[in-house]
Amino acid sequence: MADDHVAYPCPYCGEASLEAAATLPYVRGYVLAFHFGSKKIVGCTKCVRLQLLKETGISSAIGWFSPTALVSNPFLLVYGLARTALVTRNPAAVRKQLSDAGIPEPQGELSLVRIGYSLAASMIAADSRIEPEEVATAAEIGVQIFKDFDKAEFNKVVANHQNLPEPAELATLLSGVLTDDGKDAVYGFLLAIASSDDDLAKEERELLDVVAENMKLRPAA
Ligand SMILES: [Zn+2]
């Protein structure tokens, strides 16, 4: 059945096609502070289950260090394990995540600027704090790189960042979709955002390296 799977390879095993999507809530405690977050995962059924188990494992290892996290984490762990058992093929959910991220199905129409919004939003949200100045700077850079960049549209994508897969996963999906020039433009956008506050933090550098590697960026000339 043509509708049964989405014709992209799973970003984890690279073999099976995209079949399942899941959102996993987690909580991380830092002695007294804590934060709740959630992670979007798309892949083949087997890999999505595996990733959920891994994430649940991470939650159980580092989710305990504050009183609030101590109370909520057991519930999230149980949720994580139950959610893992419930992963089934769900092409509709996969399609929804791809379209939220601006990634068309093969043969669909690709909008480079939409992909720029998604990757930038997902990168800005990667450290779990969205700083308004960072978003404004990203928009200023965006209008210089993409002629059809729309700030209002970008702000909308940032506000809905929880619908986006992680930057590393997005980059893997994009490796087979974007042309070399498209990859250069999108990566240049991310690099400019990350460098805009003068110091390129170690985590930003690492994230950019993973994105470059996963999207199979050609080596810089
Ligand atoms: Zn897989």
Tell whether the model's pLDDT for residue 117 goes beyond 80.
yes
Q: Binning pLDDT at 50, 70 and 90, where does residue 29 land?
A: low
Angle between helices 167-175 and 202-214 (to 10 degrees): 20
Higher-pLDDT residue of 21, 107:
21
In this predicted model, what pLDDT tens digit does every residue of 157-168 receive, in sequence order? Answer: 998 887 787 888
Domains of the chain (ranges, CATH numbers): 2-93 (no CATH), 105-214 (1.10.3680.10)
Give the Cα separation of 132 and 138 in Å (integer): 10
Q: What is the pLDDT of residue 107?
A: 61
Q: What is the pLDDT of residue 174?
A: 83
The encoded tokens of residue 156 equal 């909308």
In this predicted model, what pLDDT tens digit does every residue of 48-105 receive, in sequence order? Answer: 888 887 877 776 666 666 666 666 666 676 677 777 777 888 888 888 878 777 777 7
What's the whole-number average pLDDT of the chain? 80
Q: What is the pLDDT of residue 46?
A: 87
31-40 mean pLDDT: 64
Give the Cα separation of 134 and 26 in Å (integer): 25
Q: What is the pLDDT of residue 63?
A: 63
Report how far ligand 1's centroid is from the alpha carbon of 9 (Å): 8
Q: Binning pLDDT at 50, 70 and 90, where does residue 44 land?
A: confident
Report how far ligand 1's centroid is from the alpha carbon of 11 (Å): 7
In this predicted model, what pLDDT tens digit does every residue of 144-157 receive, in sequence order? Answer: 988 899 999 999 99
Tell whether the model's pLDDT for residue 3 goes beyond 70.
no
Higher-pLDDT residue of 174, 143:
143
Report how far ligand 1's centroid is from the alpha carbon of 84 (Å): 15
Higher-pLDDT residue of 59, 217:
217
* Parallel/antiparallel/unpaired status of strands 6-9 and 17-18: antiparallel
Q: Binning pLDDT at 50, 70 and 90, where does residue 1 land?
A: very low
Length of the chain: 221
The encoded tokens of residue 183 equal 């990859």
Report how far ligand 1's centroid is from the alpha carbon of 18 (Å): 8
Residue type, 32: L
Report how far ligand 1's centroid is from the alpha carbon of 136 (Å): 37
User: End-to-end CA distance of the chain, in Å?
Assistant: 44
